[in-house]
Amino acid sequence: MQYQCPKCQSRKILPVTHGNTPAVRPVVPKSLVFLIPLLFILLLLVVISIVMWIFSNGAGQTLQIATVVVFSAAVIAGVMFWRDLPDFKISMQSFMQANKSWKCRDCNHEWQI
């Protein structure tokens, strides 16, 4: 299957539901739901630490402990997502194959598979 618009070659495609058919959705693992926000929080804490090291006398002990705790949680969530990855890939493949109608977000072209 081609995962891009045949008209403009964009990869920004959406499934189109028709009528009363329920939308098929992939199963998103809970570890991914935790991993993504943890990575953003970790990035924020690291940026704050660097700014404090540059403009102040260094990051405080509370900030360092928070960074280590969030890093540890992100590592654990990453390992759990790695374990869930084969099931997630199968779920995504079945989602992509179950949808027969697609629409491009760039050029609004609709096509059937």
Q: What is the mean pLDDT of each run of 10 residues along the chain (113 residues)?
A: 79 79 79 94 94 85 93 96 92 82 86 80
Quote the pLDDT of residue 6: 83
Gap between the Cα atoms of 47 and 54, Å rounded: 11
- Residue 25 and residue 27: Cα distance in Å, rounded? 7
Domain locations along the chain: 28-112
Distance CA 22, CA 18 (A): 9
In this predicted structure, what is the pLDDT of residue 112?
A: 81
Give me the residue label for tokens 């990453």.
78
Query: How does strand 110-112 pair with strand 13-15?
Result: unpaired
Sheet containing 101-104: which strands, arranged edge to edge?
13-15, 101-104, 110-112
Q: What's the confidence (pLDDT) of residue 113? A: 78
pTM, rounded to two decimals: 0.71
